[in-house]
């Protein structure tokens, strides 16, 4: 398996522009997670999906951020409009569930480094 795939790996944009980050989870995994990593705040969970349904988006910073999972093999994280403080590395991770309580490993993608000028 190719693992979790994220694109683009690097994105540089100007303030006010729309940014779309993409993620393809590992085939067969039914949970998908979006994280943000910054020096100041460390690793933060933004949102996660279970069976394509958003379960917890309490980590999404504000309405400028939105995430979708139209099918089991694709998810997007969109920022509109982008701001310099959104500069960070954004990771996608996926996992499979075992019964009602997940003990499964979250597998991380390589991340997208976003720079907003």
Partner 1 sequence: AQSVTQLGSHVSVSEGALVLLRCNYSSSVPPYLFWYVQYPNQGLQLLLKYTSAATLVKGINGFEAEFKKSETSFHLTKPSAHMSDAAEYFCALLTGGGNKLTFGTGTQLKVEL
Provide the binding-site residues for partner 1, judged by CB under 8 A.
4, 31, 33, 42-43, 45, 48, 50, 55-56, 91, 93, 100-103, 105-111
Of 51 and 80, nearer to partner 1 (C-beta) is: 51
CA angle 101, 21, 103 (to 5 degrees): 15
Residue 95 · residue 101 · CB < 8 Å: no
Is the CA virtual torsion 50, 52, 53, 54 positive or negative? positive
Of 23 and 116, nearer to partner 1 (C-beta) is: 23
Of 81 and 96, nearer to partner 1 (C-beta) is: 96
């Amino acid at each position: 398996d190719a693992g979790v795939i994220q694109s683009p790996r690097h994105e540089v944009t100007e303030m006010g522009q729309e940014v779309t980050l993409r993620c393809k989870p590992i085939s067969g995994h039914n949970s998908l997670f979006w994280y943000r990593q910054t020096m100041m705040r460390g690793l933060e969970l933004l949102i996660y999906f279970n069976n394509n349904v958003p379960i917890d988006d309490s980590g999404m910073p504000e309405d400028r951020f939105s995430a979708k999972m139209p099918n089991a093999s694709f998810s997007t994280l969109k920022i509109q409009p982008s701001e310099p403080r959104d500069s960070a590395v954004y990771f996608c991770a996926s996992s499979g569930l075992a019964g009602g309580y997940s003990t499964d490993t979250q597998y991380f993608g390589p991340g997208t480094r976003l720079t907003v000028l």
